Amino acid sequence: SILLYTYRQKHPFNFVLLGFYTVSISFVVGLTCAFTS
């Protein structure tokens, strides 16, 4: 969150960071659902 606020001026890097964050969160949620069910 602080990292996104710091790099919001760098336009392409912000989208790359946001995409990586979204993919990593969905991957962690997927692994959690796979191992708890």
More confident residue, 19 or 10: 19
| Whole-number average pLDDT of the chain | 81
Question: How many Cα atoms sit within 13 Å of 8 on the Cβ side?
Answer: 5
> First vs last Cα of the chain: how many Å apart?
30
pTM here is 0.53
More confident residue, 2 or 36: 36
Cα gap 36→17, rounded to integer Å: 28
